[in-house]
Structure 1
Amino acid sequence: MPRAKADFGTLHPCDFYTPDELLEEEQMYTVYEIARMLQGLEPEAEIDEETEAVLLDWAVPWVMNNSAELVVAEPPADTDPGYYGLKRGTDLADD
């Protein structure tokens, strides 16, 4: 159900990090690590599964919206997540 803006004490801008602001150029990250970093946490921070699910709701669209600036790598095993990083120079064989 929608609520009136007046019901909220403080409103904040809906700003997100750019890939350059969030990711280190020479590192690759899982979507779980990106989710933590988008909230100002360390990539390896311990969080409960419920919180992680909520954070993923923010991270997946962020990855999709910034896909032109990212590269993706195959996971080390079929049960592992893929890895994402900044797209730079000669990262891709077809560039």
Structure 2
Amino acid sequence: MPEPKSAFDATYPCDFYEPAELFEPEQMYTIPEIGRLLQGLEPDADVDPDTEAVLVDWAVPWVMVHADEMVVAEPLTEDGPGYYGVAEHAVPDDEADAATDESA
């Protein structure tokens, strides 16, 4: 049920990360991992199933909105999840250079 804004002590801007801010440039993530990252958690944080369902509900539209800044990979196994990462063109040059230096 909708509530009037006056019912809340405060409201905040609805700011979300950009893929280049959220992802490590050389890593790929599953939807549940993206949901955790969007909430400031580690990708492998232990969350209960109900919380994970909410995180996935947030992550799916976020991925769709940012699809032009992302890449997708096929699952590693036939029944495994897909993986998503930041596209090279979406990473600022200084971050891309640092990621290349680290992997060398």
Q: Structure 2: which amino acid aligns with 1:16?
A: F
Q: Structure 2: which amino acid aligns with 1:7?
A: A
SS at match of 2:88: coil
Say how many residue pairs are matched: 89
Distance in 1 of aligned mates of 2:34 and 2:2: 30
Q: Which residue of 2 aligns with 1:4?
A: 4
Distance in 2 of aligned mates of 1:64 and 1:43: 19
- State TM-score, norm by structure 1: 0.90
Distance in 1 of aligned mates of 2:46 and 2:2: 33
Distance in 2 of aligned mates of 1:40 and 1:77: 28
Q: Structure 2: which amino acid aligns with 1:60?
A: V
Shift of 1:79: 2.0
- State TM-score, norm by structure 2: 0.82
Moved segments of 4+, more than 2 Å? none
Distance in 2 of aligned mates of 1:44 and 1:58: 17
Distance in 2 of aligned mates of 1:18 and 1:61: 13
The answer for unaligned runs of 5 or more in structure 2 is: 90-104
Say whether residues 1:33 and 2:33 are aligned partners.
Answer: yes
RMSD: 0.9
The percentage of counterpart residues that share the same residue type is 60
Question: As a proportion of its length, which structure holds more helix?
Answer: 2
Q: Which residue of 2 aligns with 1:47?
A: 47
Say whether residues 1:72 and 2:72 are aligned partners.
Answer: yes
The answer for unaligned runs of 5 or more in structure 1 is: 90-95
